[in-house]
Amino acid sequence: MIPRTKSGRDLRALEDRLGYRFRKIELLEEATIHKSFMNEGRRLGVTHNNERLEFLGDTVLGLVIAEYLMMNFPKYPEGVLSKFKGRVVSEPTLAIFSRQIGVGNFLLIGKGEELTQGREKSSLLADALEAIIAAIYLDGGLDAARTFIIGHFRTLITQAVSVDSVQDYKTDLQEYCQRELETLPLYQIVGQRGPDHQKEFDVVVMIRDKPYGEGSGRSKKEAEQKAAKEALDRLARTTRDLPPSSGRKNPH
């Protein structure tokens, strides 16, 4: 039996692309209705749009991605994991994935949005995807939502944490030190060798007068990035040997 919605649509093709069969097809229906459609939708008996589902889906997506990062990348501190998570759940990333599975083709949008190519708007597509995630969560529970998210987002997660992605270890280290330790890292050139056209630099990064990472590179910037990465790795293991700043209490 073909699952029919209030708008009379057959959403099986979208279910196929999502890789999930709904028990309550009305949830998927709601997830694909933009608020701009409400005037046209009332004559079809449509009374809800996807804004509330979007609100819930944003939370479910964030939870699942955070859980996955924490369990699979234990060496990174919270600040770095937050940056990874931000890359995965960002509007551009969600919109790209939404386009890949053709969500825009299944959206009900108002005439104004249709005229301004609303089906291709990144914000609209990202919101719709979050609403779909919430619909899966409400229909099948957290396990179903987790299976969908990780199954479809694993490649995006891998790209977000790969060395080839735009990774700025110096910024990560600075943000971590400011937030958690109320101090800033200090980079010192401790050595350089080779001719001027092929010089190599050795750098040490200091945190509260203690060396926390070393790095070498063909430029000062490269050496500092390597030193910052080593410092982040060390901080991920322990921060107990760091003395408290003047404005922080000693940890118990």
Same domain for 38 and 74?
yes
Could you say which of 29, 30, 54, 58 is catalytic?
A: 58
Structural domain for 19, as ranges = 12-161
Contact in structure between 40 and 7 (CB atoms under 8 Å): no
Q: Considering the domain boundaries, does residue 36 fall inside one?
A: yes
SS3 content of the chain, % helix, strand, coil (to 5): 60, 10, 30
Which of 49-53, 67-71, 109-113 has the lowest average pLDDT?
A: 109-113
Could you tell me which of 16, 35, 200 has the C-alpha nearest to residue 107?
A: 35
Which of 24-28, 84-88, 132-136, 202-206 has the lowest average pLDDT?
A: 84-88
pLDDT digits 0-9 by tens, 193-226: 988 777 899 999 999 999 999 999 988 888 999 9
How much is the mean pLDDT over the chain?
85
Q: Is the pLDDT of residue 90 over 80?
A: yes
58 tagged catalytic: yes
pLDDT score at 81: 87
Same domain for 145 and 48?
yes
Could you say which of 30, 54, 113, 130 is catalytic?
A: 130
Which of 36-45, 152-161, 219-228 has the lowest average pLDDT?
A: 36-45
CATH number, domain containing residue 232 = 3.30.160.20
CA-to-CA distance for 63 and 176, rounded, in angstroms? 21
Write out the E strands in the chain: 186-193, 200-207, 210-217
Q: Is the pLDDT of residue 110 over 70?
A: yes
Q: Considering the domain boundaries, does residue 49 fall inside one?
A: yes
Stretch 42-56: mean pLDDT = 84
Separation in Å, CA 223 to CA 15, 17, 39, 159, 227: 49, 45, 60, 23, 6
Q: Which position has the higher pLDDT, 5 or 137? A: 137
Given 141, 161, 181, the domain boundary residue is 161
For the chain, the C-alpha Rg in angstroms (whole number) is 24
Q: Is the pLDDT of residue 6 over 70?
A: no
Q: Considering the domain boundaries, does residue 177 fall inside one?
A: yes
130 tagged catalytic: yes
CA-to-CA distance for 51 and 22, rounded, in angstroms? 20
